[in-house]
Every structure is written in structure tokens, then in C-alpha cells.
Copies of this chain bind each other. A is one copy, B any other.
């Protein structure tokens, strides 16, 4: 899981969209003006968001973007993942050249931790953030339980 300003821009833009649903498509020019993100940069971000099926685009005059799914069904993790390149695998991954124990252990530990962060962000939707009591919502309303054996290591 990777969290950079790029992901922040994407989440901010998606929040802007979520905050203005119901009024028809929203142009990137509007988002750019409201969130102070350059139009061209937004175009790049939304190209990825579109490919990830998170937004729909409507071309022509009166067009713009809107959320493909309701804000209750789009997680922060999805948005962040959509705009980021898949993180580069740890060096020893795949290759059999690090059976020395310590290396692989550290990598696996990080991997599991990273998975936890992802799971955490998967539990927070755009709507949770907008509703702003997502602290409580994540903790109680979702009532999601992790089990150790369900952990899946990833790069």
C-alpha cells in the first residue's frame, strides 16, 4: 500500500465528486477550481479512475464525470490503488535467492503489515469520510473481523 500526495489528490477529487452528486456530471474544470489541482493533472488522474471503473465520463457540452457507483460503495483503498502503479516487488521476491531466513521474514512481515493497511482503507468508503463519523462507523457499523489465516501476502 502506498500513500502519497498523488493518492491524496485522487481521494480529494473523488470526495469533491461525491459531495456534488445529483446535480449531473461535474467537469474537471470545476474540480480543478475548487480543489486547486491543475486541470491536466486531473485529466491524468481521471483517466486512471475511469479505467478502474470508479467514474463514468460524459463527453460533449454539459458533460463531465460522475461516480460509477454510489459513494457508499467506493473505498479509499480502491481510489488510491487506481492512481498508483503497483508497488515494485521486494527484490528477493520470485527469485529463489534469499532463503537465508532473515530477509524473507522481514519482507513477509512488511507484506502482512501492508495488507493490514490495505484492509483498513478498504473499510472506509467515500461516504464514510463525507459523513465524518467514519471513526465510529468503521469500528462498529461495519463490524468486520479479521482472522489471521485469511492474511494473504502480497508484494
Residues of B within 8 Å of A119, CB to CB, are 146, 150-151
Q: Are A116 and B145 in contact (CB under 8 A)?
A: no
Q: Are A81 and B132 in contact (CB under 8 A)?
A: no
Tell me the bound Cα distance from A122 to B153 in angstroms: 11
CB < 8 Å: which of B8, B36, B144 contacts A139?
Answer: B144
Q: Are A106 and B143 in contact (CB under 8 A)?
A: no
Tell me the bound Cα distance from A105 to B16 in angstroms: 9
CB < 8 Å: which of B87, B107, B113, B129 contacts A124?
Answer: B113
CB-CB contacts of A3-15 with B at 8 A, as 1s and 0s?
1110010011001
Q: Are B129 and A112 in contact (CB under 8 A)?
A: yes
Q: Are B135 and A103 in contact (CB under 8 A)?
A: no
Q: Are B152 and A122 in contact (CB under 8 A)?
A: yes
- Asked if A2 is at the interface of the complex by the 8 Å CB criterion, the answer is yes
Q: A76-B113, A106-B15 are in contact. Are A3 and B5 (CB under 8 A)?
A: no
CB < 8 Å: which of B2, B92, B133, B144 contacts A36?
Answer: B92
